[in-house]
Amino acid sequence: MPNERSRRKSKDLTEAVAKTATFVTVWAVLTIIGLLWFLRPTFSIVEKRELAKFPEFSVEGVLDGTYFSKIDTWFSDTFPIRESLISFNDKFRECYGIRNSLIHGDIGQGEEIPTGTVDLSDLLGTDTDDPGYKPPEVPDFTGGGITEPEDTPPIDESSSEESSSEDSSKPLDTTKPPITTEPPPVTTKPEGGGTAPPETNNSILIYGNAAYEFYYFSQSVSAKYCLAVNRLAEALKGKAELYNIIIPSAGSVVLGMDEWLKYGSSNPVDAIEWMQSQMDPSVHKINPYDTLYAHRDEYLFFRTDHHWTALGAYYTYTDFCKAKGITPNDLSSFKTITIDGFRGTLYSATKSPKLKTDTVIGYYPMGTNSMYFISKNNGKYSKTWWNIITDVSGWHESLRYNCFAGADQPFSYAHNPKVNDGSSVLLVKNSFGNAFVPFLVDHYEHIYWVDFRYFESYATSESLYNACISGLVESKGIDDVIILTNVSATSTSSLVTPLDRICK
């Protein structure tokens, strides 16, 4: 018996030593990794945000504990192998259940979509002007291209455009070098900043190998959107034609409306129809749902990103041409570029291995591929020459939607030397408009596009156009104005507000 007892004791000891040695080793390694401050990242490309900074010391913060809670956040936010750990955790969570379709994020609930004509200002509720509102800051641009020398006046876009319009027979500065689009280094921030309003919500359905962002209708924000369009329509009467395009949710097109609504999303078609029914009769309204739905088996929306593909933009462009009474170019007439390996925002959010990597196809405009945009460089606005369709295959996998139209810039311009009638168009858009721009180019001589999130900040800073769309239209003599956004944006206050402020 004593032998048996001592053998058992010995086994207990063996087990304890093995367990302690294994655990302490792994624990120590993780602790040491946490102490390697020089490995701590400051920016997350996957999340597209600055990571938490080590807080500045303050006696008040020490007394109330906020200083220490910020250290907690910093420690975990900048942990050296954090993204690998998150990725590991995401893979582990795949075995939580049966995940043929998956709800990611919180389940929301859209408000009731009104029917008939209503007084829009009644619906505004608390979503009124905030006197302390500050427009989103324009992020610093860190890509390639050719930037005007720093000693040139901050912005000379008006003079350059004037010169081109004065002598329209002269081909625009396409002699400006067709761009050395050096990719931004993968380890640096793609477009800096951290103040831009979110363009999507955090509710996502993964269905098959694709992810779809939910859409939740908001009465007050949608009403604000309609009022903004109407205000702009009033301001543009007799000066320019106004077109409104609202892109339906990807899920409603690809999965079909019945299936999509089962998951509690608001009905985007009802919402678009209602919003457009509230708009001034002078506005040309385009709801591309039917056209897109007719092509639902084609590659209209990215699987890993909340944007549409250029093909989706093309079919919507055909609807625009119909509304304008022009003939769209045949898809086969465009030269293309194919960029593989795109994993966009919805992949970043869900990290789901079910999502199939995307391919970006860009359609080169036939008139010109040359453009410039105004962007912020080191806090100062300057002009950068760029390509409308840019080969971004060397860029980070999450940045490949930047292939289109120079991405999200406060002001962009292209001159089409193949059209000499002085025609001009202004696209007021969020990032969905980027893929639309290449198709517009061939129908106008002057193509302008502004990202409504950043336009006010830029125009105010440079004292241009009275910081509004009608000011820009008058300044440039623009014929057609198109407001294009996705339907989710029309229910997102942080997106409609900057649009609302420039729609006058």
Partner 1 sequence: MVFSSLIFVLLFLSFNILLHTVAKSIKVKNAIMILFSVAFYTWAGAKYLVLFFTVIFAAYIAGLAIDASDTKTEKKIAMIGGIVILLGILGFFKYTGFFLDNVRPIFDLPDIIPKIALPLGISFYTFQLLSYVVDVYRGDVRAQKNYFVLLLYAGLFHQCVAGPIVRYKDIEDDIFHRKVDVISFSNGISRFAAGLGKKAILANGCAEICDKLIGKNAENLAEATALGVILACGCYMLQIYLDFSAYSDMAIGMGLMTGFRYKENFNYPYSATSVTDFWRRWHMSLSSFFRDYVYIPLGGNRCSIPRHVFNMFVVWALTGFWHGASWNYVIWGLYYFVFLFLEKYPLKKVVSGTPTFIRRITLLVIVYFGWIIFKFESFDMLRTAFVGIFRNPTGFTNATVNTVLLNNIWFLIVAALACTPIVPTVRDYCRTACKKNTLFFTGYTVASSLIPVALLLLSVSALAGDSYNPFLYFIF
User: If DSSP codes are grouped into helix, strand and coil, which group holds residue 73?
Assistant: helix
Give the dihedral of Cα atoms 49, 51, 57, 63; nearest 10 deg: 90
Q: Among residues 18, 36, 39, 186, which is the contact residue for partner 1, using CB under 8 A? A: 18
- Looking at beta carbons only, is 344 or 498 nearer to partner 1? 344
Least gap, CB of 302 to partner 1 (angstroms) = 11
Q: Which of residues 105-124 bind partner 1 (CB under 8 A)?
A: 105-109
Q: Which of residues 427-466 bind partner 1 (CB under 8 A)?
A: 431
Q: How far apart are CA 162 and CA 373, in angstroms?
A: 16
The 48-87 site mask, x for binding partner 1 (CB under 8 A), equals xxx-x---------xxxx--x--xxx-xxx-x--x--xx-
Greatest Cα pair distance in the chain? 108
Q: Which of residues 160-199 bind partner 1 (CB under 8 A)?
A: 190-191, 193-199
**Of 469, 467, 477, 496, nearest in space to 424 by CA:** 477
Phi, psi dihedral angles at 206 (to 5 degrees): -100, 120
Q: Binding residues for partner 1, how many (CB under 8 A)?
A: 87
Token pair 């604000």: residue: 224
Return the range that interacts with partner 1 (CB under 8 A); candidates 13-21, 120-128, 333-341, 463-471. Answer: 13-21
In one letter, which amino acid is 217? F
Q: Among residues 40, 41, 55, 103, which is the contact residue for partner 1, using CB under 8 A? A: 103
Contacts 24+ apart (CB under 8 A), 281-284: 282/233, 282/237, 282/242, 283/229, 283/230, 283/233, 283/242, 283/243, 283/244, 284/241, 284/242, 284/243, 284/244, 284/323, 284/324
286 membership: H or E segment, kind and range: strand 284-286
Half-sphere exposure of 331 (CA within 13 A, CB side): 11
- Looking at beta carbons only, is 43 or 293 nearer to partner 1? 43
Q: How far apart are CA 143 and CA 125, in angstroms?
A: 41
Q: Which of residues 377-416 bind partner 1 (CB under 8 A)?
A: 401, 407-408
Return the range that interacts with partner 1 (CB under 8 A); candidates 156-164, 258-266, 309-317, 384-392. Answer: 258-266
Least gap, CB of 307 to partner 1 (angstroms) = 7
Least gap, CB of 210 to partner 1 (angstroms) = 15
Q: Among residues 6, 42, 89, 327, which is the contact residue for partner 1, using CB under 8 A? A: 89
Other CB atoms within 10 Å distance of the CB of residue 115: 10
Q: Which of residues 24-53 bind partner 1 (CB under 8 A)?
A: 24, 26-28, 30-31, 34-35, 46-50, 52
Beta bridge partners of 285: 244
Least gap, CB of 348 to partner 1 (angstroms) = 5
The 287-326 site mask, x for binding partner 1 (CB under 8 A), equals -------------------xx-------------------
Least gap, CB of 51 to partner 1 (angstroms) = 8
